[in-house]
Amino acid sequence: MASTTEVKPPTAVGLAGVTVGDTQVCRVSQTELIYRGYEIADLAQNATFEEVAYLLLVGQKPSAGELKSFKDELASLRRIPDGLKAMLRDIAADPPAAHPMAILRTGVSYLSHFDPDAEDNSPPAGLRKAKRLLAQIPTIIGYGQMVRDGNDPVDPDPTLDHAANLLWCMTGQRAPDLYGRVIDVSLILYAEHDFNASTFAGRVIASTEADMHSSVCGAIGALKGPLHGGANEKAMEMLKEIDAFVQTGGTIEQWMDRAFAEKRKLMGFGHRVYKQGDHRAGILRSLGLKVAEQRGAEFKKWFDIGDRVQQIMLQKKNIRPNVDYPCGPTYYVMGIPVDQYTPIFVASRITGWCAHIMEQHASNRIIRPLASYTGPALRKWQDG
């Protein structure tokens, strides 16, 4: 007689390799990253971030007229309420240790109280909210950074594109055209990545029929972690640590050998899906290197260090960098504070998040997986 013993499948670690739902927004594989049918290298070379944002939120490539209307609408939505400005002054200046991601999370939550569509999960309302968030998040980032620097914040500039306006709000200065292009491409590269941790968190919240702002706040919380969005910050901190070690007479090889011996997790390397390398990394490295070369040897050194670390990782561990690795030195050579790297990620990924949240709301079933219980066997309370 055949055995009827149930054979349980192996427990998935972190849901690795488990498909949990369908989406029309993005496809990620070992060889491709596609936004609604368009491959990432094609978009990075030929599109602007606003075009990609329209593609993700609306679902199609915009015509020239649609793009102009979209950009004009975003520019008109960039200002934030005076009450939010006052709150940002309080939390960005005191305590001074407040992380920009925490500031941004609070800012997005505050915006929900003033959004007329806050509790409306219909598709038209979702799109209106997505546009407001896309337009206002750079203003929150910039306002907070200017306060942290002890400067008077500036109003968003409606004549600038999304990326250039972000830099303007953060510095109060017009950035060189190359800087604007680099940020624009980085926003394209970071805009969407299917069911990553933050997007999945947002979809889980949306699946309870919670509102878009609540879902986005949850996604921001997930992105803040160093194993997700915060990896670009940690990657740059690692390069600075290596540089300091070299300045005291050590070598990159010695630092890496010690890191391997200590089993340190080197941020910016490896990817759950891209086993043969992240398609986005080379695109961003090339652009960042152009900025560094323009600025001189003291800036190019970050890419020299980074390239050597990359070589050692490939030779000794057969692990390749992901997009967070070149992001670190790319933003650094443009003078962007390290702890603002992940908020800039939000200024991009808000498009993907909102596209997924709207998709979840449009065809919803609550996301409620099962767990494999590994605790004690059944017992009686009175026996203990």
Catalytic residues: 228, 271, 324
- Report the C-alpha gap between 65 and 69 in whole angstroms: 6
Sign of CA dihedral 108, 112, 117, 120: positive
CA dihedral in degrees (8, 9, 15, 17; nearest 10)? Answer: -160
HSE at residue 253, side-chain half, CA atoms within 13 A, is 2
φ and ψ at residue 26, rounded to 5 degrees = -155, 150
Spatial contact of 133 and 216, defined as CB atoms under 8 Å apart: yes
- Report the C-alpha gap between 346 and 53 in whole angstroms: 13
Spatial contact of 168 and 174, defined as CB atoms under 8 Å apart: yes
- Nearest alpha carbon to residue 77 among 130, 23, 2: 130
Cα 63–Cα 78–Cα 328 angle in degrees, nearest 5: 85
CA dihedral in degrees (330, 105, 191, 26; nearest 10)? Answer: 140
DSSP string, 228-270: TTTHHHHHHHHHHHHHHHHHTT--HHHHHHHHHHTT---TTB-
- Report the C-alpha gap between 282 and 295 in whole angstroms: 20
- Report the C-alpha gap between 347 and 186 in whole angstroms: 11
- Report the C-alpha gap between 353 and 194 in whole angstroms: 9
Spatial contact of 358 and 130, defined as CB atoms under 8 Å apart: yes
Could you give the angle at which helices 341-362 and 49-58 cross, rounded to 10 degrees? 20
